[in-house]
Amino acid sequence: MSESDELTDLERADEDCVLRFADGAAFTLGYVELRLVCPCAKCRPRQENEQRMIEFREEVMRLRMAKPKAELVGRYGLRFEWSTGCSSGLYSFPLLRQVCEIDGSVLGE
Ligand SMILES: [Zn+2]
């Protein structure tokens, strides 16, 4: 695993969280963005194409995004437990880094 794919810290605020990686990069990421890439069996098909993604986003935006619980899974991923359902998705560190790169805001520097 490269350093950029190794999550070292997660700080949860009310509407977003800060993720830090072993290569020193840190990002702020909103829970909506995180929820939209939920890799569980129920949500993954909703990310398959643009149309389904638009519908999925609208649905997620209507939900109240409360701070999820997060649990470390081994040394390679996190499981988020959303109050709006969905708790079985395992977010691998490389997936988290990818979402940060695309939707997150870079912290510091
Ligand atoms: Zn899900």
pLDDT in tens, 2-24: 999 999 999 999 999 999 999 99
Q: What is the pLDDT of residue 83?
A: 86
Mean pLDDT of the chain: 93
What number of CA atoms fall less than 13 Å from residue 90's CA on the CB side? 7
Q: Spell out the domain ranges in the chain.
A: 3-106
User: What spacing in Å lies between the alpha carbon of 109 and ligand 1's midpoint?
Assistant: 33
Instruction: Specify the pLDDT at position 71.
Output: 95
- Residue 53 Ramachandran class (φ > 0 left, ψ -120 to 50 alpha, else beta): alpha
CA of 94 to the centre of ligand 1 (A): 18
Percent residues over pLDDT 70 in the chain: 99
Neighbours of 100 (CB within 10 A): 25
Q: Where does the pLDDT of residue 45 fall: very low under 50, low under 70, confident under 90, or very high at 90 and above?
A: very high
The reported pTM is 0.92
Instruction: Report the CATH fold assignment for 3-106.
Output: NE0471 N-terminal domain-like (3.30.2020)
Ligand 1 midpoint to CA 51 (Å) = 18
Instruction: Determine the distance separating the centroid of ligand 1 and the alpha carbon of 41, expressed in angstroms.
Output: 7
